[in-house]
Amino acid sequence: MITKRFFDYHPCGVPVYAYDITNGGSVTATVIEYGATLQRLLVKDKFGNCRDVIGGFDRIIDYLDSSEYQGGTIGRVCNRLKNAEYIIDDVKYSTYANEGKNVCHAGRFGFDKKIWSSNFTEDSDEVTFTYLSPDGEEGFPGNLSVRVTFTVTDDSLTINYKATTDKKTIINLTNHSYFNMNGFNSGNMENHKIRVAASKYNETDSELIPTGNFSKVEGTAFDMRKERTIKDVLYGDHPKIRELGGLDTNFIFDGYNGNVNHVADFTGDISGIKMSVYTDQSGVLIYTSNSIKSTEPKMKNGTVQEKHFGACFETAAMPDAVNHDNFDNTILDVGEEYSSTTSFKFSIAE
């Protein structure tokens, strides 16, 4: 069932609507038209109570003032591009550098900062958001038609992305929700348990740009192939973790074959809620809210943000892939369709 309701006015005067999606099970998702943003995700805990397990805001102005992409749909290209440039068919394209000389999460005004159109049927369990990104927006070529569909079943939230273009371009979409299985307002998530089915990750330089090399997790704090407490990772003896104050790392899934596979788990120690991540993408960039400051806008219900309050599971192709011949293909040609699916399935841990 879908309930459409007024959320807030954008400062430009446009009303923004929210969509509550449920089918009567243990999961209810709220998505808003601004940024095709996942604003709330209610999940029943082991006590039968609902907890909101993602960060977010009650007002549009707070999304505008935030620098942390809370819950937004990220595109055209998520994560980082070296020197804010890339080449397609011997033509060099430049994008807006918003992180030093590089671009992060598509530049100044990415998809998370656009007001999307919506389409739904009240008695269904999904809402589709659409956006036409014009040729040249943020320096990306081609008119790109994008559809993002949020579907809720008894125990899952699935996000499906599709796109077509009229000119060869690059695309790599993801969602940037911060997950805390005890509830977004429960403090840090350091006692959560985490598992990631990845034996290697993208090595990065001091600017978090992939070097092109792959590093093994074995024998390091990055090894989460067996479930462990996330604080053991965050405070592990690894120079990159010490440098960043946590994870901002793209892990590459073992046995990736382009199909939807079970790739990660994240479990709250108090709620007992276990989130299992399924995706058809090659990896996940896990970001553990290392740089969040209390000066960021207050979240829902006036909750102050803090370091390590939540973790992002940004399922996608590898960062800066277009600039590496040995990475995923993120080029979309005319006549092709980009498609990506990620599901978050919730259960109670044994």
Give me the residues paired with residue 18 across strands: 5, 32
- Distance of CA 108 to CAs 97, 199, 279, Å? 8, 34, 28
Which one of 105, 138, 176, 190 is the catalytic residue? 176
In whole angstroms, what is the distance from residue 188 CA to residue 305 CA? 10
Q: Tell me, yes or no, if 176 is annotated catalytic.
A: yes
Residue 183, both tokens:
């509830």
Sequence-distant (6+) residues with CB within 8 A of 142 are 135, 165, 166, 167, 168, 169, 332, 334
Residues constituting the chain: 350
In whole angstroms, what is the distance from residue 281 CA to residue 263 CA? 10
Instruction: Find, among 279, 304, 305, the residue nearest to 291 by Cα.
Output: 305
The conformation of residue 218, written as its DSSP 8-state character, comes to T
172 near 77, Cβ under 8 Å?
yes
Radius of gyration of the chain (CA): 19
Which one of 68, 138, 190, 314 is the catalytic residue? 314
| Residues marked as catalytic | 176, 314
